[in-house]
Every structure is written in C-alpha cells, then in structure tokens.
Chains A and B, each alone.
Chain A
Amino acid sequence: MVIKQLSKSVREYKRDSILTPLYVTVEVVLEVLIPFVTAALITAIRESDITRVFWVGGVLVALAVLALVFGTLSGKACARASCGFAKNLRKDLYYKVQTFSFANIDKFSSSSLVTRLTTDVTNVQMSYMMVIRVAIRSPLMFIFSIIMAFIMSPRLAWIFVIVLPVLIGGLILIISKAVPFFNRIFKKYDAMNESVQENVKAMRVVKAYVREDYESDKFRKTSDNVRADFTKAERLLALNTPLMQLCMYIVMLIVAYFGARLAVETSGSAFNVENLQAMINYSTMCLMSMMMLSMVVAMITMSAASARRICEVLTEESSLKSPENALTDVENGEIVFDHVSFKYSETAEKFALKDIDLVIRSGETIGILGDTGSSKTSLVNLIPRLYDATEGTVFVGGHDVRKYDLETLRNQISVVLQKNVLFSGTIKENLRWGDKEATDEEMVRVCKLAQADEFIQGLPDKYDTYIEQGGTNVSGGQKQRLCIARALLKKPKVLILDDSTSAVDTKTDALIRKAFREEIPDTTKIIIAQRVASVQDADKIIIMNNGEIDAIGTHEELLKNNEIYRDLYNTQHRGGEENA
C-alpha cells in the first residue's frame, strides 16, 4: 500500500529508475567477469604464451573501461532518479497540504507537516537510492559470483553452500534484533534532544529558580540511559564485522587446502594457482554482497516509519471541497446561523458550539465578547467555511455556505485570524496577498484605513520594507494593522476581526473602527475583542459563554440586563481602558 502510493511520485524519473538497475546489472556482470579473465591471464603467463597474454590483457582492460563507463552511468542515473523522486514527493506533499482544510491541518499540526516534508522525505530518498542501486547490486553480485565460482571450480564451490547459511543466519539474527532496538532508542535520543531544547528555551526559568544542578542531574540520567541503550545496540551490530571475517577466513582456508589437494590430485587440470586467486575473489564478492544487503535491509526498515508518515499525508482526503455547480457570487453580507452546533472532530465529546441561532444583517457591525474558551473563534470560523457545521446550517447572502465555491466565499468573507502570520517579503508583497493586482494607491488607501500608513511611511524603505520571517521586525500592533490592511484589500462583503487589535492602543483601535464606519459602511463587520471599548459602539454585541450565546443586544441593553457584560465593563472601566 505504502509502496504503491509512494511509487506514484516517480513519474518522469521512471526512465532513470529503470535504467539504474540495468546499468548496475551490466556493471556487476563485468565486475564478476574480471577475476575469471584474470585467471585466464595467469594461465597464459604460466604457460608463457605471450600472444595470449596480450589478448587476454586487452580483454581485461576493455572490461575495466566498460565497468567504469557503466558505473558512472548508473551513478548518474541513480542520482537523477532518487533526487527527482524526492523532488516529486516533496511537491506532491506540498500540493496536497494546499488542498487541506483547517480540520486537516489541525489533525496533523504544522510542525509535524514540516517534519514530513523535510526529514521524512530525505529518509525515503536515501532508501530509494539504496533500493534501485545497492538492493539490486547485492543479490545480483551474490548470484553471479556463486555461478562463476561453480563454473570456475565446481568441485570446490560446495563450500559456499556450507558457509553461506551460517553468515546469512547470523546476519538475519543480528539485524532482526538490532533494528527494533534502534528504532526504539532513536525515539529516546530524540526525546533527549527535546529535553535539551526545553532547557535552552527555559533558561531564564532555570536560573530564576536556581535549578542548574537539578537540570544537570536530570540530563545526566537521560543521557546515561541513552548511552546504555546505544551501547547495547551498537555492540550487537558490531558483531557483523567479526562474523563476516570469520566466514571469509574459513572459506579462504578451505579453498586453499582442498584446492591444493585437488590441484595435486589432478596434476593441475581441475585446479591451479590461477583458480585459487579467482575463487578467493568470488568468495569475497559473495560474502560482501550479503553483508551489504543486510545493511540495506536494516536501513530500509528503519525508514519505513518515514514512508508511512508521508503516506498518511498523501492519502488524507480534504474534509472540505467546493461543490459542483457552485455559486460564484456572494450577493450581500447577510449572515444567518440556523440551529448550528459544531465540534472539532467527530470523536470529540464536547460541542464547541451548541444550537446557535443568529441573524446578522448586511452592513451591520457586530461585536463578540466572552471569556477564553467560550468559542468566539469557532463561531466566526464557520462563516467563511473554514470548518463545516456539525449540525444546522450557516447561510451567507441568503445561501447555504456549502453551496458556494470556496474561493469565492473566502474572497468575499475576509478573516483576520487570531494567530496571524506575515511572510518574509516586502510590505507590498504581503499586502498583495489580498489582491494580486492591487495598485500602490489602493494599498495606501487600505493602510490608511487600518491606521498602518503612518508607521509604514516612517520606515526607511516605506512600502518596500522587507518583513522578516514571522514578521519579527515589526511590533505586535504594527503586525496586526498590516494584517487588517491585507484583509481589507480583498474588498470583502464580510470582514471578520478575530481579536485582531489586542496589541493596538485604544486610540488607534477607535480610529480603525471609525474608518470602517465611514469608509466601508456596506461591509458586514464582525469584531471579536477582549476590550469592551472595542465593541461597545457596535450595532449588536454577542456575549458568548461556554459555546452558547448568552445574550445579544446593544451596549445599553446589555449593561442593563447581562451580568457577564456588566462585570466585564466594570472591571475594565475601573481599569481605565475607556474610549477616549
């Protein structure tokens, strides 16, 4: 299953992937012939036949040159095939992730996706290279060298029949024990490095609590544990070499002894000095190929986990798709929730939203307040269909959101996410995410709306200032304002701000809201906030509590009737975060 799925990514590198083993086959045949021809050369020397010496020598040179050519060809084809395969695999994974819905992304988590696209792909690439090159080479080498040994000296080749099972048995035993062992301790090793990472990140806490020695002890124990396990596993694996050597030496001595006897018995006709050399060469080839094969098998087994992880992503079905004959226009910004309930996964026990009924008219400004975990974000995420409602229906512009083309829907409903991200690139490039063809004037206009123009003009390169990865070179409030401007550039029918002005001061916050009121009156605006001041002039304020709507009303109504709102207002009013 896994192999079938992965093999789909070979595509245009199929030719190289097939050529590699072919070249390797030729290479192996040539290499196996060389000792045979060398034996013939020694025979010629022994018999002082100078013309045959030239002739056979010529053949040998030709063989070596050909082996060189095919070796180079296979090396090149192999590099192309494996790198190409890795490239396609990365591409397939990346493209697949692009089709993922929020639910799919949540399921895997961003950092796990990163690992799958990087480390796992590299592991699989290595294994692929091994498979098309070494995994073909070793068995072929094994078979051919045994065949040649039988051709060369049938009466001695039986030795292989005795020694090989010993070697193969030993190798299987070692590898089958070592591989699961290694898999287990690699996890321990990773855990150890994660604990170091944790320590480095938390160094201030460590120092503040004077826990340096405590941490050192903790680490020493972990590290010693890793040491003990690794020692065991490596000692097991280290038995490979002596085992190999033992087999090698036994074969050499037996060939020498019985070869000599055979030579004397037959006066050199069935076995002679040249055969001794060749037979020893063949036994080396044969035993070495087994050893290589066992290592390859071990490596491939260890990367199987990576292959499985990649397949999980490739076979994941996006949980959200545009319907056929989708609507491609959103009429207006009216939003209706009709008995909507929602949970994040089918297996989750708790509903994040319970039986929500809500009507928002086009052009209204809606504020949403509520404690952490009261499902404010879950509520708004259903509007641009970032998630699908578990029960009930969400309507936008009079139609079920599931009837719309996803791109249309999301272009018309612009969300400024709570955990927002700017990408490395200039401010202009970042803004253009909202509209590829936006002119400079348009960009300045939306930045003025989002109160971002002023600080951008103060930057050395203005709109061409380069934003570092993660937006680390602008402050939190500036980042939020850029994100709002980016969302405005879409000219959406619905604008959703999910706690998007938390780092912006109250005065600027008020200016943004004022600009919204005056400049985009027809857009439905939904504002999630912590501050009462951010929403108190909204047409309606929704109080969320534990996945349900606790109350809806204007500032005055809620102040009068709703306890949560009054509480919030009082705490914050006393705290002075009052509108200027």
Chain B
Amino acid sequence: MPKPNMSMRGGKGAPQRRAKKGTFGRLMKYLFKYHKAAMLTVFLCLILTAVSNAAAPVFLNNMVGVISEGVDLAETQGSAAAWSAVYPQLLRIILTMICIYVFGIAANTTYTQLMAKVTQSFLHQLRTDLFDGMQRLPIKYFDTHTHGDIMSHYTNDVDAVRQLVAQSIPNLFQACTMLVFLLCIMFYYSIWLSLVVFVGVFFMFLVTKKVGGNSGKYFLKQQMALGKTEGFIEEMMHGQKVVKVFCHEEEAEKKFDAINEDLFADSCTANTFANILMPIMVNIGNLLYVVVAFLGGLMAINELPNLSIQHGFDALPAAAYIGIIVSFLSMSRQFTNNISNMSQQVNSVVMGLAGADRVFELMDEKPETDEGYVTLVNAEIDENGNIAESEKRTGKWAWRHPHKADGTVTYTELKGDIRMFGVDFGYVPEKIVLHDVTLYAKPGQKVAFVGATGAGKTTITNLINRFYDIADGKIRYDGININKIKKGDLRRSLGMVLQDTNLFTGTVMDNIRYGKLDATDEECIAAAKLANAHDFITRLPEGYNTMLTGDGANLSQGQRQLLSIARAAVKDAPVMIMDEATSSIDTHTEALVQRGTDMLMEGRTVFVIAHRLSTVQNSDVIMVLDHGRIIERGTHDQLIAQQGVYYQLYTGAFELE
C-alpha cells in the first residue's frame, strides 16, 4: 500500500506550470456567482477612478491656458483686471475638478472597501468548497497524494488566487482603462507626440520582456534552491540528535555551506533582476519625458503644425503648445507608470491562474461513490424475533433493506457476521495484492491476521470498511452484499482503531467523544477505563480537560494508542477492527488493555492485526497471510501443532516487519 508522505512542507514556491485554458473564465464565473452585484459595482468604480485619474492632464492643460492668459493680460492690463478676467474661468475649472475628484474618491473608497469584503468572502467560499469537496474524496486520493501536496492547495494556491483576485485583476483592469482614456486624450491633443510616446512604450515592452523574462527564470531557480535548502535544513534539524551522537557537526556544516552558497548565488541574481526592473522602467519613462518635452518644445518654438483631433492639422500659438506639452508630460508619466504597473502583475497573474487551476482540479476530483441504499436503524426485537424500527437508541440495530421491485422493506438484525468469498484486490489494477481470499467471521468471534508487512492484512480491513472496493469476489455483512449498504451506515457499524493514530486539536474528552458525539462525560470516562487510559489521563495536568495540540504531540505513542482505543470503545459498535492498535504499548499494559477490550467485545466480532503474537494468541481463528494469500488458518494450538509458518513465526525463525 502506498504510504502517505508525512512531510508537512513540499509544494513550496511557485507552482511550476501554466494554467489550462478556460481557468480564468471559470474563476470569473465563480467570483460573479456569489458576488455579481458587488463585482459589477467594483468594475464601475474602477472606471470612475480611472476617469478621475485621467482627468489630471486635461486639468493641467486647461490650467496652463488660464495661467498663460492671466499672465499675458496682467502684463498688458495690470493684475487686478487680469484676475477678474480669468477668475470665472478658473473657478469653473476648479469646481469641475472638485466634482470629478469627489466622485473619484467616492468611487475609490467604495471599490477598495467592497473589494476587501468580496475578496475575503470569496476566499472563504473557495476554502470551504475545497474542504467540503475534499471530505467527499475516496481514501485512495489521500493515499496517492502527499499531505504536503494536498495542503499546498490551501496555502500556496489559495494565496496565489487571492493575489490574483484582490490585486492583479483590479489593477490590470484599472490600468487598461487608464491607458484607453490616456490614449484618447493624447490623440485629442497631438498625434505627433502620441507617436513619440508609442515609440517609448515599445521600448519599455522590449525591456520588460528581456529583464522580466530573466527575472522569471532566475526566480524559478531561486525557488528550487530554496526548496533544496529547506529540505536539507528539515532533514538535518530532525536528525540533529544523531549528528550530536556521532560528533558529525563539522561535516554537517560543510554540506550546509555548499547548499547555502548555491542559494545565495541564485537568489542574488533573481533579486537583482527584480530590483533593477523598476529603475529601468522609471528612467525610460524619464527619458521619454525629456524627448516629449524637447520635441514639443521644438514644435512650439518653430510653430510647426500640430496634428490633433482637437484642432486638426494646424499650427498653434505657443501657449497652446505649452499646455499640450505640460499635459503630455503628465500623460507620458502616467502611461509609463501604468505599463510598469501592468508588467509587475504578469508574474502574479501566471501564478494565480496556475493556483486556481490546481484548486479547481481538486474540486473536480471524483468524489467517493455510494450506491448503497441499505441503512442502519435502531431496532426493537420482540420475543418472536420480529424486528421493528425505533426512533430511540435501543442498543440494538437492524439493516433496513428496501426492495425496489415490490416496494417492500425488510429488516435484518445487525449481528456482525462478515464473510468474504474469493476476493481479489489490487490498489492498482496491474498489481493484485489479495488473491482469492475467503473467510468467515461469525458474530462474537475474534479473527486475527498475521503476516509480514505487505502481506495484505490492512488491505483486508480496507475492504470491509470499503475504503477501497474489491475487484472480484463477494463480501457479505449479515448476509447483505456490502456494496448495497450505504457507506456511512456501514462504517457506523464498525469500530476501528487504525494503524496510524491521529488525534485532533481539542481536549482529551473531545477526542474520546469523537467516537460518539452525544456521549456523556460518564460514557467517555467509562470507555477510557476500558481502554486502560483513565490512569494516565487523570495524571495529565488538567485530566480530561487537558488540551491536545499537534496530533497529541504532548503524549507518548502508547498513550495516543490508548486514547484511540477509548475513542473506538465509546462508539460501541458491533464489529471492531484493531489494526496494530497496541503496537507501541508495553506488553504489561497491553495485557490490561486486552482484558478491557475482551470485556467490551464479548459477543461481538473483532478483527485483530498485530505484530506481536501474544496479542493474537487467544483469537478464535488466526489467519496467516503471505503475499496476499491466506496460507494457514486455525486456532493457536492447531497452528502450533501444524508446525507450519505460524509455528516458525512463533519460535522466532521468521521476521515480522
């Protein structure tokens, strides 16, 4: 069975691939689905903001006209007369601008506030959809993907999407709108100078492509070097005690230095490119600025004809030229600013789309299918063995089996009788790991599986709880084909203590109660006593209210196993599966636990997988598995008498791993 990778990290840095086509459209659809009105308002506000920003050069142009006129008048008629002549015009311009700016600020405030709200609820939606989708995925998905990889959907990918939605999309939209407005204004004033600006902008594109491309290339290299360094640090930090024991410090330092130097070289280059992009863009903008001023100046001084939408093809008075130059200076600056702004978004757009792609991919994964229709109900059984459904918890259960053909419903008592007939199974079709497995577990029996790692012990239990579905053969639960039983109900009828113990953040009590959400404190404590966990729990600083964090990091492996047994005990299921449930508990405590579980499981079916033969010795039947086949079966005494593989295991001639 593919063992999941326990590494928390991984998937660091940029997702190194491009998004599929249509991802952007899907993202937009997703965004608009829940926030249509808000998003439309945002875009409208963005246009208004762009208008108010683009109004500046027009304003400047008009102001230059007013000032020139005022200054000219002042020279001929004195300043007082000049002032009263230009004042109404000035007032009109200023008032118009105030109006535009009030709108602009209102639009800007609305858009930024709305965007903060929309982004966060969009991310919330995305996260919960992702999480809900993930809960529905089959175990196979988790077995074939590393935890680090799954986690990176929630961290790196959602982060990249956030960047795209919250920053890049509004910025790009605003920049594009601005460019359109500026373009119109430029053409309106002077087509010649517009062409000059275009040449400059073309240059900027070339530079962005060259420098930006290099920056992207080294950025990836840096991410890879960073990943390597972090991987090394992680390995060494977790093995630090071994380093100390072997006095291996110097070698560890030498190896680290080499990797650290590589990272330095790559990140230095990457950062250099990233750092110089801005000054290059800004100063190309500055040069453009000079060229515009200079050419405009030449036109003005020589009174060359201007070509514009405003005046057609015509020579203008010097003052008008100056107005055009001043507004062009401001426009060329805005133009270049917007373009460098856009160039900075390119990386995050690529990364954001790749992130969105991965998020959608996880959402699109096929969920666990469940065609079952037989359900588990509380039942009352009278002396004659008639079964009736009950609303209350009666301590007895029955399978409710509706028959489609005639519309009748039959009930079968839940007993815990599990049979397998000729079951074949492989995690991948090419590699069959279970061959022709046939077994009977009668109610109340304790069935043990013994065999080397990879022999297929855990696989059998994976089929009973339908974490995986069989390829061939039949499995019957109380005579019912388990494929007909609803998965949720099937699993509710099984108490499972799994190989890898996992606890949740919360109190000890919460963790036990996970087995039965409505269990009272008394029930939980009783279960803990059964599992022999009560003793150590009461010795914890806050007893049952002690908080567990980080998968119960403050407990020993053995204590965690005891808790997970208590959790299964409180569930009080008719069938119990214990997969290496006591492997980290010392033999002395194990004997006590066993006494407890034997009491609990009296009259119920138990499947036990254990490494230690002492754990399985008192089973009703022991199955010895080898390479996916049951090679021996019988009670301990029978198997010893057989002098086969079990006997060899028992006498220590074989290795169990």
Contacts and interface: CB of A to CB of B under 8 A. Distances in A.
A91 B551 contact: no
B245 A505 contact: no
Given A48-B301, A64-B290, A206-B135, A223 B127 contact: yes
Nearest to A483: B242
Nearest to A112: B237
Interface stretch (A94-102, A360-368, A548-556): A94-102
Given A44-B297, A206-B135, A263-B67, A87 B256 contact: no
Contacts of B135: 206, 212-213, 215-216
B322 A273 contact: yes
10 contacts: A61-B287, A64-B287, A100-B240, A200-B142, A201-B551, A234-B116, A260-B90, A265-B83, A421-B239, A421-B241
Contacts of B246: 410, 433-434, 486, 490
A71 B278 contact: yes
Given A78-B275, A200-B147, A264-B70, A87 B237 contact: no
Nearest to A572: B587
A65 to B, nearest CB: 8
Interface stretch (B33-41, B308-316, B611-619): B611-619
Nearest to B613: A576
A48 B83 CA distance: 26
A274 B67 CA distance: 10
A410 B244 contact: yes
Contacts of B306: none
Contacts of B124: 223-224, 226-227
A209 B514 contact: yes
Interface string B57-96: 0011001101110110111000100110010001001100
Contact of A117 (B233, B267, B515): B233
Contacts, number: 456
A547 to B, nearest CB: 14
B488 interface: yes
| Top 7 A-B pairs, shortest CB-CB distance | A575-B614, A71-B279, A75-B275, A506-B652, A202-B502, A79-B271, A268-B71
B304 interface: no
B116 A231 contact: yes
Given A91-B256, A97-B240, A84 B264 contact: yes
Contact of A386 (B239, B244, B298, B498): B244
B136 to A, nearest CB: 7
B546 interface: no
Contacts of A273: 63-64, 67-68, 322-323, 326
Given A53-B298, A198-B505, A208-B498, A214 B517 contact: yes
A508 B149 CA distance: 38
Interface string A37-62: 01001101110101001000100110
A241 B170 CA distance: 14
A261 B83 contact: yes
A71 B56 CA distance: 28
B109 interface: yes
A235 B127 contact: no
Contacts of B283: 64-65, 67-68, 71
A477 interface: yes
A384 B242 CA distance: 13
B491 A210 contact: yes
Contact of A372 (B322, B504, B589, B656): B589
Given A223-B131, A384-B245, A256 B63 contact: yes
Give the interface residue-count category, chain A. Answer: 35 or more
Interface string B601-628: 0000000000011110100000000000
B410 interface: no
A246 interface: yes
A238 B115 contact: yes
A388 interface: no
Interface string B490-507: 011010101010111100
A94 B253 contact: yes
Interface in B260-298: 260-261, 263-264, 267-272, 274-276, 278-280, 282-284, 286-287, 289-290, 293-294, 296-298
A116 B73 CA distance: 70
B375 interface: no
B293 A38 contact: yes
B498 A204 contact: yes
B237 A114 contact: yes
Interface in A243-290: 245-246, 249, 252-253, 256-257, 259-261, 263-268, 271-274, 276-277, 280
A505 B240 contact: no
Contacts of A478: 657
A477 B657 contact: yes
B483 interface: no
A208 B494 contact: yes
Nearest to B126: A223
Interface in B207-254: 229-231, 233-249, 251-253
Given A110-B238, A118-B230, A196-B131, A505 B244 contact: no
B67 A571 contact: no
Interface residues of B, number: 161
B297 A41 contact: yes
A371 interface: yes
Indicate the member of B79, B239, B494 with the most A CB atoms within 10 Å.
B239
A393 B588 CA distance: 32
Given A42-B325, A242-B112, A475-B453, A410 B245 contact: yes
Given A200-B147, A571-B591, A276 B63 contact: yes
A117 B502 CA distance: 28
Nearest to B516: A209
Nearest to B100: A249
Given A78-B275, A508-B655, A87 B260 contact: yes
Interface in A522-580: 530, 533, 567-568, 571-572, 574-580
A476 interface: yes
A27 interface: yes
A45 B234 contact: no
B424 to A, nearest CB: 23
A572 B586 CA distance: 11
Interface in A108-158: 110-111, 113-114, 117-118, 129, 133
Nearest to A575: B614
B556 interface: yes
B286 A264 contact: no
A475 B278 CA distance: 54
B98 to A, nearest CB: 7
B498 A577 contact: no
A476 B655 CA distance: 11
Contacts of A436: 251
Interface in B393-409: none
B607 to A, nearest CB: 13
Contact of A579 (B98, B264, B652): B652
Contacts of A506: 652
A576 B83 CA distance: 112
Contacts of A84: 264, 268
B67 A276 contact: yes
Contacts of B75: 267-268
Given A42-B326, A238-B116, A572-B614, A83 B293 contact: no
A273 B4 CA distance: 71
A78 B230 CA distance: 23
B294 A234 contact: no
Contacts of A34: 286, 289
